């Protein structure tokens, strides 16, 4: 069928398939019965075509680092199956996920969107995710290919990575997604790789991806990530997104006529697009692009289960789990206590069906909700709290708010991200809007108004200009670098008086190059001061236990910018210290998308890392705190004692954050625990670490052979739950090369098994290693190379807790060619 369609297509029709029709759909060819299909973000839910912050409600699943912490491919696969159903509920045939870039610096704004610092753990979870999604007839899109480990100047930065490090660390998850999961789509990254944009990187897209790995799906650009016409297509980029086209269309037709692109190259790219349509069933039934809200009880239960399974108990001096019946009073404190921080920021955001805060979850879990006492203590938001309340929005043609509005609508939240404008009469490059809201402060005193805008805007309070986002506008650190840095202004307000807030907005004038978006966010808040901390401390002193919910939120952990450091923002560390000083029974619950330094660690009784676990946040954390669920997580990323202990943090800015358009991965393969082990730098918490509520006894590890053969070696180990309650354990197998001929890490993760056991039960963990697991990448041989000699199989509970070692021998040289689909 596809061949017949291609034979009847004109060059122009073939070219039309190679760029999007709009932000989310492909171009149909109605004459030949070729339908259009819809794609949708993202990793933690299927948003559909709506705004990042509005639109049809969607199910909000845990973020990727929380999935990484589960070490549970079976559970991740179940989430993939659920996401396929969610994508279909939004009329989408392609899900733009998973994200498998590696945790390199600990400061990456999208660290939360990625699984792990380890390529094997990342690969195993990504394969499971993809298999789950694609089992539901929805294409998964693995991203961002490749070298996108930072958000700093990401649209132009060159990630300079040697080939060995690429092959061993950064490309492995992509390779396994192709070879083991049959992923249907790959998304190129914004950045350059060794000087060349990945969207036009022939070695990466054609040589490695297609010829060596055998990938037969489509390669699409990240949104606005295509920079050329002939170069991208010749390199292997099939689909330019979004549409309408900027680099293809008539430009590509002319490039074919001028001999810059072969007609056969266009045909092959068009064939791959048509094959994708066939694989997702678009020819069998024309896709219904209608979006509905699908809130399923089984999805709710799965999110709650993943939340507990990915929760990592980092410290516990016997206080957890809390006994509900013995607590007369609980202080639930901190900036993340009453706020449901369920997701990170950027394109991963969705409009969740609902969100449950920790405070709500704890109150629901207790028979006496009156025993719970709350105080925020301090704030941790990067931007001024977004306005919430009744608003009215008028939209105008042109950028000058002239004439009558062509569309009017109510709104409830002071954030607008216009992928699609509410009227076909409005041009994204030439429209304006007036937003009118009223604000009644609860207390008198100084309030701060803040606004950030992609486009130009002014904010007035009772007709007086307060925030000027118009004059002197310059791009800053919001909305992927398309908006200015937040502009703030303090104003004295009176309690219970109504103030009129008016925002006048106009779209960006220049949309000729780069990422261009139309968005605005405004808010108002009364800053918390010493009195707020004093209130929290007083409530902590008066209660049996103090639960401190601290961390970050989606304006810190977000696409578009990296973190400034590895500390808790605002006055949170001060809050922890002061609460712990008055209540010895203090538990810290962390919500971050990456590691944090903990100078306060020894002053609290327990620390629980809960990440951003989706819409069931409050219920999941209550399950773990009160023992209705097990904290089943293990760290997918090393937590260093200080930022300077990270391998990417050196005195050379070229290594991180980058310099003169280049960031050089000088640490090579020594990322995360590989660096800590080999350099003998003790971490705060090692890779793979996590406590539970029960105890396990490990038997003697046994190997099927002590000589590596073509079929590999199987290692078995009996694990017994010697405690009084159900729990889970992760058996980790690392390989150590004793006779290494090149610089190699002390040990490298090569297999793992997550097991769940009732009290008193025993199970046998089975792990397998192959010749490739002993290897490093030999650049000259273009192969993975296992030298003859002595190796150790290191059986461990985490990277710092080795339980046993098995000496093995590799009797002869083994070379695994890069184009061998079996390795």
Same domain, 50 and 160: yes
CB-based contact 715:701 (threshold 8 Å): yes
Report yes or no on 796 lying in a domain: yes
In the numeric block, the tokens 């705190």 are attached to 625
Taking the C-alpha atoms of 342, 37, 246 and 237 in order, what is their torsion angle to the nearest 10 degrees? 90
> 3-state SS string over 676-691?
HHHHCCCCCECCCCCE
Same domain, 781 and 701: yes
> Mean pLDDT, 10 residues at a time, over the chain (823 residues)?
96 98 96 97 88 84 98 98 97 98 97 98 98 98 98 96 98 98 98 98 98 98 96 98 96 98 98 98 93 97 98 98 92 98 93 96 90 97 95 96 95 89 90 97 96 97 97 92 95 97 91 74 96 98 98 95 97 98 98 98 98 98 97 98 97 97 98 97 98 97 97 97 97 96 97 97 98 97 97 98 98 93 83
Q: At what angle do helices 263-279 and 250-257 cross, to 10 degrees?
A: 140
> 3-state SS string over 26-70?
ECCEHHHCECCCEEECCCCCCCCCCCCCCCCCECCCCCHHHHHHH
DSSP states along 154-202: TTT-EEE--HHHIIIIISHHHHHHHHHH--SEEEE-SSEETTEEGGG-H
Report yes or no on 785 lying in a domain: yes
Domain boundary among 279, 308, 335: 279
Instruction: Please give the helix or strand (H or E) that residue 393 lies within, else none.
Output: strand 388-397
What is the rounded distance in angstroms from the CA atom of residue 622 to the CA atom of residue 321?
Answer: 10
Same domain, 318 and 405: no
Same domain, 139 and 35: yes
CB-based contact 39:94 (threshold 8 Å): yes
Same domain, 484 and 589: no
Report yes or no on 285 lying in a domain: no
- What is the DSSP-derived secondary structure letter of residue 278? H
Classify burial at 225, counting beta carbons within 10 Å of its beta carbon; exposed 0-12, middle 13-18, buried 19 or more. buried
Q: How far is CA 530 from CA 378, 415, 533, 602, in A?
A: 9, 30, 5, 24
**CB-based contacts of 597-604 (< 8 A; 24+ apart in sequence):** 597/566, 597/567, 597/640, 597/641, 597/642, 597/643, 597/684, 598/639, 598/684, 599/573, 600/573, 600/576, 601/315, 601/684, 603/576, 603/577, 604/315, 604/548, 604/576, 604/580
CB-based contact 298:622 (threshold 8 Å): no
Q: What's 535's domain CATH number? A: 3.40.50.1700
Q: On the CB side of 68, how many CA atoms lie within 13 Å of its CA?
A: 35
Same domain, 152 and 250: yes
Same domain, 535 and 511: no
Domain boundary among 473, 492, 525: 525
Nearest residue to 57 via CA among 68, 48, 69: 48
Nearest residue to 770 via CA among 713, 822, 730, 810: 713
* SS3 assignment, position 787: coil
Residues 6+ apart with CB under 8 A from 209: 145, 174, 178, 186, 215, 219, 236
What is the rounded distance in angstroms from the CA atom of residue 334 to the CA atom of residue 332?
Answer: 7
Q: Express the helix, strand and coil content of the chain in percent, nearest 5 each.
A: 25, 30, 45
**Strand arrangement of the beta sheet that strand 519-525 belongs to:** 415-417, 519-525, 445-454, 487-493
Report yes or no on 73 lying in a domain: yes
CB-based contact 445:494 (threshold 8 Å): no
Residue-number span of the structural domain to which 371 is assigned: 297-381+529-645
The residues carrying an active-site annotation are 222
Same domain, 237 and 312: no
Backbone dihedral angles phi then psi of residue 166, each to the nearest 5 degrees: -55, -50
- What is the DSSP-derived secondary structure letter of residue 231? H
Instruction: Please give the helix or strand (H or E) that residue 128 lies within, else none.
Output: helix 119-135
Same domain, 533 and 520: no
CB-based contact 114:173 (threshold 8 Å): no
- pLDDT value at residue 513: 57
What is the rounded distance in angstroms from the CA atom of residue 636 to the CA atom of residue 125?
Answer: 11
CB-based contact 517:479 (threshold 8 Å): yes
Backbone dihedral angles phi then psi of residue 603, each to the nearest 5 degrees: -100, -5
Task: Say how many C-beta atoms besides its own lie within 10 A of residue 778's C-beta.
Answer: 18
Report yes or no on 186 lying in a domain: yes
The structure's pTM equals 0.96
Q: What's 785's domain CATH number? A: 2.60.40.10
Q: Which two tokens stand for residue 531?
A: 């009195």
Q: What angle do CA 406, 410, 412 make, to 5 degrees?
A: 140
Q: Which two tokens stand for residue 149?
A: 């480990």
Report yes or no on 559 lying in a domain: yes
What is the rounded distance in angstroms from the CA atom of residue 105 to the CA atom of residue 113?
Answer: 14
Nearest residue to 356 via CA among 616, 45, 621, 58: 616
Q: What's 508's domain CATH number? A: 2.60.120.260
Q: Which two tokens stand for residue 529?
A: 């001061």
Query: Pairing relation of β-strands 713-721 and 762-769?
Result: antiparallel
Q: In angstroms, how far apart are the furthest CA atoms of the chain?
A: 83
Task: Say how many C-beta atoms besides its own lie within 10 A of residue 292's C-beta.
Answer: 12
Same domain, 437 and 336: no
Q: What angle do CA 617, 623, 625 make, to 5 degrees?
A: 100
Q: What's 133's domain CATH number? A: 3.20.20.300
- pLDDT value at residue 512: 52
Domain boundary among 232, 247, 279: 279
List beta partners, residue 456: 506
Q: How far is CA 307 from CA 344, 407, 602, 619, 783, in A?
A: 15, 42, 26, 9, 40
Nearest residue to 693 via CA among 178, 337, 320, 200: 320
- pLDDT value at residue 510: 65
Q: Which two tokens stand for residue 287?
A: 């896709």
CB-based contact 407:475 (threshold 8 Å): no
Q: How far is CA 502 from CA 30, 438, 460, 463, 525, in A?
A: 45, 9, 5, 7, 16
List beta partners, residue 417: 519
What total of structural domains would you count in the chain?
4
Q: How far is CA 316 from CA 551, 582, 721, in A?
A: 19, 19, 19
Same domain, 211 and 245: yes
Report yes or no on 802 lying in a domain: yes
Same domain, 494 and 559: no
Report yes or no on 125 lying in a domain: yes
Cis geometry, peptide bond prior to residue 144 (ω within 30 degrees of 0): yes
Taking the C-alpha atoms of 679, 682, 686 and 690 in order, what is their torsion angle to the nearest 10 degrees? 160
């Amino acid at each position: 069928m596809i061949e017949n369609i291609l034979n009847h297509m004109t060059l122009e029709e073939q070219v039309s398939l190679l760029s999007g029709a709009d932000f989310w759909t492909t171009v149909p060819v109605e004459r030949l019965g070729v339908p259009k299909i819809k794609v949708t973000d993202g990793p933690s839910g299927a948003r559909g075509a709506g705004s990042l912050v509005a639109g049809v409600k969607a199910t909000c699943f845990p973020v990727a680092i929380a999935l990484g912490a589960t070490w549970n491919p079976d559970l991740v696969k179940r989430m993939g199956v659920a996401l396929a159903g969610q994508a279909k509920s939004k009329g989408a045939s392609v899900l733009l996920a998973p994200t498998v870039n590696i945790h390199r610096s600990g400061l990456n704004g999208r660290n939360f969107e990625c699984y792990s610092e380890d390529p094997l753990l990342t690969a195993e979870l990504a394969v499971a995710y993809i298999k789950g999604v694609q089992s539901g007839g929805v294409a998964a899109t693995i991203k961002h290919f490749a070298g996108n480990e930072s958000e700093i100047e990401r649209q132009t930065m060159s990630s300079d990575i040697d080939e060995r490090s690429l092959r061993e660390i950064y490309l492995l998850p992509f390779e396994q997604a192709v070879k083991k999961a049959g992923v249907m789509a790959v998304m190129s990254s914004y950045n350059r790789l060794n000087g060349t944009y990945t969207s036009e990187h022939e070695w990466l897209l054609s040589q490695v991806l297609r010829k060596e790995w055998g990938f037969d799906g489509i390669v699409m650009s990240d949104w606005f990530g295509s920079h050329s016409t002939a170069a991208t297509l010749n390199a292997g980029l099939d689909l330019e997104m979004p549409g309408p086209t900027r680099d293809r269309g008539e430009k590509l037709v002319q490039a074919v006529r001028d001999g810059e692109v072969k007609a056969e190259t266009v045909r092959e790219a068009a064939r791959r697009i048509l094959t994708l349509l066939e694989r997702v069933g678009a020819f069998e039934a024309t896709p219904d692009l209608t979006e509905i809200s699908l809130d399923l009880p089984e999805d709710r239960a799965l999110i709650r289960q993943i939340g507990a399974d990915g929760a990592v108990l980092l410290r516990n001096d016997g206080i957890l789990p809390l006994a509900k019946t013995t607590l007369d009073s609980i202080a639930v404190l901190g900036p993340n206590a009453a706020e449901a921080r369920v997701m990170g920021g950027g394109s991963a955001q969705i409009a969740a069906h609902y969100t449950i805060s920790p405070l709500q979850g704890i109150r629901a879990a207790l028979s006496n909700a009156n025993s719970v006492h709350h105080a925020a203590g301090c704030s941790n938001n990067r931007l001024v709290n977004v306005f919430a309340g009744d608003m009215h929005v008028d939209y105008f043609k042109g950028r000058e708010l002239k004439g009558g509005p062509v569309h009017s609508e109510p709104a409830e939240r002071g954030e607008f991200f216009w992928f699609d404008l509410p009227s076909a009469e409005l041009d994204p490059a030439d429209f304006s809007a007036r937003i009118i809201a009223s604000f009644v402060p609860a207390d008198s005193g100084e309030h701060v108004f803040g606004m950030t805008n992609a486009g130009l805007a002014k904010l007035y309070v009772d007709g007086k200009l307060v925030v000027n986002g118009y004059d002197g506008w310059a791009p800053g650190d919001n909305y992927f670098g398309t908006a200015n840095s937040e502009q703030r202004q303090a104003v004295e307000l009176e309690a219970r008086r109504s103030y009129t807030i008016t925002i006048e907005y106009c779209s960006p004038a220049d949309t000729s190059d780069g990422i261009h978006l139309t968005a605005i966010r405004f808010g108002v808040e009364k800053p918390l001061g010493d009195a707020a901390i004093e209130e929290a401390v007083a409530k902590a002193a008066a209660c049996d236990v103090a639960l401190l919910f601290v961390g970050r939120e989606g304006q810190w952990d977000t696409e578009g910018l990296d973190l400034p450091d590895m500390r808790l923002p605002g006055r949170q560390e001060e809050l922890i210290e002061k609460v712990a000083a008055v209540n010895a029974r203090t538990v810290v619950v962390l919500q971050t998308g990456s590691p944090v330094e903990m100078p306060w660690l020894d002053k609290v009784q327990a620390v629980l890392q809960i990440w951003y676990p989706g819409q069931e946040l409050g219920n999941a954390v209550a399950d773990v705190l009160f023992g209705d669920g097990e904290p089943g997580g293990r760290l997918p990323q090393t937590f260093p004692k200080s930022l300077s202990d990270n391998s990417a943090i050196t005195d050379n800015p070229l290594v991180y954050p980058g310099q003169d358009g280049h960031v050089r991965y000088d640490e090579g393969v020594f990322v995360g625990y590989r660096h800590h082990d080999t350099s003998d730098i003790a971490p705060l918490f090692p890779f793979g670490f996590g406590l539970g509520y029960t105890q396990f006894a490990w038997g003697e590890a046994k190997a099927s052979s002590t000589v590596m053969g073509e079929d590999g070696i199987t290692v078995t180990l009996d694990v017994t739950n010697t405690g009084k309650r159900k729990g889970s354990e992760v058996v980790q197998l690392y390989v150590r090369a004793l006779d290494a001929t090149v610089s190699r890490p002390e040990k490298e993760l090569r297999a793992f098994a997550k097991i769940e056991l009732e009290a008193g039960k025993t199970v046998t963990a089975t792990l397998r290693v192959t010749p490739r697991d002993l290897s490093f990448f030999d650049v000259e041989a273009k192969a993975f190379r296992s030298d003859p000699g002595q190796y150790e199989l290191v059986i461990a509970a985490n990277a710092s807790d080795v339980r046993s070692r098995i000496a093995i021998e590799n009797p002869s040289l083994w070379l695994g060619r890069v184009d061998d689909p079996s390795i």
